[in-house]
A and B are shown apart, each in its own frame.
Chain A
Amino acid sequence: MRCDYACGTHEGLSRRSFIGGTTAGALSMLGFNGMTQVQASKKLASQQKQVVVFWLSGGVSQLETWDPKPGAETGGPFQAISTSAPGVQISELLPHTAQQMHHLALVRGINTKENDHGKGGYIMQTGRKKQPGFAFPYLGSSFSSHLSAPDSPLPGYISVGAGGSSKESTFLGPRHAPLVLSGGRAPSNLELHSSMQADRDKVRRNLRSKISRRFEQKRKTAHTEVYNESFDQAAALMSKRDVFDFSKFSDKDVERYGKHDFGRHCLMARQLIEKGVTFVKVGHTNYDTHSENFNFHIEQLGEFDKPFATFISDLYDRGLLEHTLIICMCEFGRTPRINSRIGRDHWGTAWSVALGGTGIKGGAVSGKTNETGTKVIDREVNGGHLFHTYYQAVGLDSTEEFYPNGQPIAKADPKAEPIKEILA
């Protein structure tokens, strides 16, 4: 395979800085209609479930992380190490994470049958294969709509260093689109201009809506609704701007998490979870290792391991892990076969994901691959099973349906079921 460029990855192997747009609104593809879920949301919101996704973009190698095969021809140079979960071994590249394994469960039997970055990412974040003409909401948007209080001034879905598009929320509407914190910074202009007063601002914003509504009367409103809603969201953000004050991390914390972007992003995620944000996506990139797979994994996982482990242990210490689900995933795994450039290519056939926190049985392992890691030999699952599992872990019924425009859309693929053995 030489999908090293054209498979649509924007990562490459360079340290390209990703200046994501800060996204508060979304293209509402099917109009506003996710409102039938309001009651369920209210009920669950009272239980305060939260979710953090670690998105290892490019596709981390399962063999260098959760499903090591030391000694196999496909295994690569690294050893497996024991962890805090009895009987569970992971790669020696994750020594800190190994100490948190009793909080984590592994799913080692994933077969998504998809080797394309875009499509793999879609499956993992929507639980479905891409279907022409229909757009499923992304995980962050779904959980934002289910778990965040309808009247919360905070966005339900914030992405830190992980990009994101306002189109992710599809029919759930702009309220549940990701707010992307570009460059790991709080949004600028969170305060009123010095010449403006709050009551005056309110008057002019009301006036703006009134003028807009008159115009929209006989027009198609899919886009204008998004635009109007984003003014309300901006106002809500301004009222909660302390949530985005990332200037107060202690030196000790900065030391513990590491003085790099990912460490800082994990700290930001910790703060956002503490302040009650429902869904936080944290990105770590550069795993598309078509060449030099092992060197890149030493480097990338060397950066990832400690802050990830520290994050889990901090959440545990602060009592947050009890109601926070943690998911560490990516588009796909990497080929067991090591190519001529000492790389591993895209591989959706037999790979792993790690879960932890609320609703998850720490130390559990589901699924098994063969000796060389080329095939799932026990408990094969796909994106659909994972989605059911995420829903169940936070106490939601994954067999329910959305009703955009009155048409039932199953929340998770009806052909799949939850991975019960890792649920607490």
Chain B
Amino acid sequence: MFRTNMRVCVLLLVIFLLNALPPKIASAAPPQLSEAPLVAKKPKAAPGKSLHKIIDEQIQSEYKDLTKSVSTISSDGEFLRRVYLDLTGRTPSITKTREFLNDSRSDKRAILVDQLLASPEYARYTSQQLDVILMRRLSKKYINVSTWEEYLRKSVAENKPLDQIVREIFAADGSNKETQAAARFYLARAGDVNELTRDIGKIFLGADLTCAQCHDHPDVNEWKQDHYYGISAFLIRSFVFTDKKKKQTVFAEKAEGEVKFESVFEVRDKTSKGAETTLPVVFNGPKISEPAFKKGEEYQVKPAKDVRPIPKYSRRAQLGVSITSPQNRRFARTMANRLWAMMLGRGIVHPLDADHSDNPPSHPQLLEILTDQMISHQFDLKWYLREIVLSETYQRSSANDLFNKKSAEKLDDSRFTHAIMKPLTPEQFSWAVLQATGYADIHRKSLKKKLTEESLRKKLLGYEKRFVTLFGGLPGKPVEGFETTADQILYLSNDGGIQGLVMPSSGNTADRVLKVPVDQPDKIAEELYLSVLNRHPDQTETEEVTKLLQGKAGVERSQMVSDLVWALVMSSEFRFNH
């Protein structure tokens, strides 16, 4: 079926290129173009529009009669907060907020985006998001978690192509010091072939094949038991091996072992023709044949007691190559869709691991284009995220009059007519709280010349971890969508750690607010709102603050300011990236 899709997409690509090219060339070009290889064009050679413009065309062409119901472009404040959160995992400082709101350059959004993408915080936060996708917040097993995090952070910092990261992860066995960290993907799952098969399908192929372990998928026609075992076959010979002398655990491999499967339904109905097997294969791609060795000559290092065997031919070595091969469009498509969902709050195919014909994408053409561009731009993560955040689609406001009128059914999230409100990730939430209350600024100041992204994070890590524990879900089962629990709210309401942040302390937000002269109520409200919500207060809000503080002095005044900071930080406006 992917062949058919590919043809459709070639066609689309052609149509798109035809539109993009000047008419003269277009009339001459078709024969060559239609035969052009799918994965052609380097980005710079590609004519015409940037991806963010194409995204908007595609999304807007779907609006049709929705033109009136589409949200306006976000205000500068809304955009600033959103893009900071999405690209750096925190909210902007009050200084940055003022600077951006007062900046009158017409291209200030693009300039900001490039600044953020170049920041060390981008690398740290984006790698944390990749980590959650890849590791589902699994606990430590065999591999040190911080070396793994550092491996991902560095990879994102140098903008390593996504497919390369994935190949490195699949190639690592934990034996080599330099690549050891990347083996966490296998080893944290204890090398369990079923857990790995499930997660590889879900994460990289947009397919939760779990149900196809025991029989063809009961609800998804096109997902067969063969697909499940095609992936398992890459891993069936692998096992976790601990070298007692080196005190090192690695993912080792044997030279023999085949997957065996038969449908439990057929076994039950007695129609089974016995167990089948398959060579390694990714979905409907080519089966990977393997060299034959004479009996006894299959190994470089033969298996023996306490010896790690090394086969001459490694099945597992084929896995990364096969998954990331341009022939396997599912990979590029899934990555494009996942990253889209990360930024927009919802996949074009949704849920992200249910990419099959009974669950069509909301925008099939757009997804094909994103897939093509992901491949032609060689899985350039930074470029892709940049294009998304530059689009109008990303920059729409989350507010819309229709929501007020309760005739909101037209505003289905899947149409992307408005910005979907994304609950802050635990990492974003912790950093945003520390930024808004001024705690992060206190540490920035105290670190002085030693201030780096790394040194600052060390100071804030305790909070970050606490938030991840409370808001991140269970190991292996990270929170999806929005959930809220009593533990979380009781922590936010009563814990000393939070109360300490909102009480005045030299240089924090409450302290700064208290230092604004009492006879300048407008400035007081402004200091509060710019610090916490990154926008100016409106008149009602200014009046509210003024009234609350009126006639209060000393402890009373300081308590009211703390309570104001708390109320703003705990508001729904703060809890969501809107």
Query: Known contacts A24-B485, A166-B483, A218-B403; is A234 also within 8 Å of B576 by CB?
Result: no
A174 to B486, CA, bound (A): 11
Closest beta carbon of chain B to A175's beta carbon, Å? 12
Query: Known contacts A1-B264, A7-B214, A203-B563; is A220 also within 8 Å of B486 by CB?
Result: no
Beta-carbon contact of A5 and B192 below 8 Å: yes
Beta-carbon contact of A224 and B421 below 8 Å: yes
Q: Which of A1, A21, A207 contacts B485 (CB 8 A)?
A: A21
A305 on the B face (CB < 8 A): no
A73 on the B face (CB < 8 A): no
Q: Which residue in chain A gives the minimum CB-CB distance to B209?
A: A6
What band does the interface of chain B fall in when counting residues whose beta carbon is under 8 Å from A?
35 or more
Closest beta carbon of chain B to A113's beta carbon, Å? 12
The residues of A that contact B399 with a CB separation of less than 8 Å are: 217-219
Q: Which of B198, B400, B413 contacts A219 (CB 8 A)?
A: B400
A261 on the B face (CB < 8 A): no
Number of interface residues of A (CB under 8 A): 67
What's the count of A-B pairs with C-beta under 8 Å? 182
Q: Which residue in chain B gives the minimum CB-CB distance to A229?
A: B484
Beta-carbon contact of A25 and B573 below 8 Å: no
The residues of A that contact B195 with a CB separation of less than 8 Å are: 5-6
B496 on the A face (CB < 8 A): yes
The residues of B that contact A6 with a CB separation of less than 8 Å are: 194-195, 197-198, 210, 213-214
Q: Which of A7, A22, A196, A215 contacts B571 (CB 8 A)?
A: A215
Beta-carbon contact of B491 and A21 below 8 Å: no
B572 on the A face (CB < 8 A): yes
Interface residues of A in 32-63 (CB under 8 A from B): none
Q: Which of B483, B485, B489, B567 contacts A27 (CB 8 A)?
A: B483
Q: Which of A7, A190, A218, A224 has the most CB of B within 10 A?
A: A218
Beta-carbon contact of B567 and A180 below 8 Å: no
Query: Known contacts A207-B567, A214-B540; is A231 also within 8 Å of B493 by CB?
Result: yes
Interface residues of A in 191-228 (CB under 8 A from B): 191-196, 200-201, 203-205, 207-208, 210-212, 214-221, 223-224, 226-228
Q: Which residue in chain B gives the minimum CB-CB distance to A231?
A: B489
A18 to B576, CA, bound (A): 28
Closest beta carbon of chain A to B495's beta carbon, Å? 5
B51 on the A face (CB < 8 A): no
A287 to B264, CA, bound (A): 21
Q: Which residue in chain B gives the minimum CB-CB distance to A193?
A: B499
Interface residues of A in 288-332 (CB under 8 A from B): none
The residues of A that contact B276 with a CB separation of less than 8 Å are: none
A8 on the B face (CB < 8 A): yes
Beta-carbon contact of A23 and B483 below 8 Å: yes
B401 on the A face (CB < 8 A): yes
Closest beta carbon of chain B to A236's beta carbon, Å? 10
The stretch among A181-189, A262-270, A362-370 that forms the contact with chain B is A181-189
Beta-carbon contact of B485 and A208 below 8 Å: no
The residues of A that contact B192 with a CB separation of less than 8 Å are: 5
The stretch among B86-94, B309-317, B473-481 that forms the contact with chain A is B473-481
B494 on the A face (CB < 8 A): yes
The residues of A that contact B474 with a CB separation of less than 8 Å are: 18-21
A116 on the B face (CB < 8 A): yes
Beta-carbon contact of A227 and B486 below 8 Å: no
Beta-carbon contact of B568 and A211 below 8 Å: yes
Closest beta carbon of chain B to A127's beta carbon, Å? 20
Interface of B, secondary structure class, is helix
The residues of B that contact A220 with a CB separation of less than 8 Å are: 398, 403, 408, 411, 413, 418, 420-421
Q: Which of B420, B494, B564 contacts A193 (CB 8 A)?
A: B494
A110 on the B face (CB < 8 A): no
A2 on the B face (CB < 8 A): yes
The residues of A that contact B304 with a CB separation of less than 8 Å are: none
Beta-carbon contact of A230 and B211 below 8 Å: no
Query: Known contacts A5-B192, A215-B573, A227-B572; is A189 also within 8 Å of B494 by CB?
Result: yes
B575 on the A face (CB < 8 A): yes
Interface residues of B in 559-578 (CB under 8 A from A): 559, 563-564, 566-568, 570-573, 575-576, 578
The residues of B that contact A167 with a CB separation of less than 8 Å are: 481, 483
Query: Known contacts A203-B563, A211-B568, A214-B540; is A187 also within 8 Å of B487 by CB?
Result: yes
The residues of B that contact A2 with a CB separation of less than 8 Å are: 213-214
Closest beta carbon of chain A to B392's beta carbon, Å? 19
The residues of B that contact A217 with a CB separation of less than 8 Å are: 399, 403-404
**Mind listing 28 A-B residue pairs with CB under 8 Å?**
A1-B267, A3-B213, A5-B194, A10-B477, A24-B485, A26-B483, A27-B482, A174-B484, A187-B490, A188-B487, A189-B490, A190-B490, A193-B494, A211-B567, A211-B568, A214-B541, A215-B573, A215-B578, A218-B404, A219-B400, A219-B403, A219-B578, A223-B423, A226-B482, A226-B484, A227-B484, A230-B486, A234-B490
Nearest 7 interchain pairs by C-beta = A24-B486, A189-B490, A215-B573, A204-B563, A22-B487, A25-B484, A234-B489
Known contacts A7-B214, A190-B494; 20 further A-B pairs (Cβ under 8 A): A3-B213, A3-B264, A7-B213, A19-B474, A21-B474, A25-B489, A187-B490, A188-B495, A189-B487, A192-B494, A193-B495, A210-B544, A219-B578, A220-B420, A223-B576, A227-B575, A230-B485, A234-B486, A235-B493, A237-B490
Q: Which residues of A contact B (CB under 8 A)?
A: 1-8, 10, 18-27, 116, 165-167, 174, 179-180, 182, 187-196, 200-201, 203-205, 207-208, 210-212, 214-221, 223-224, 226-228, 230-231, 233-235, 237-238
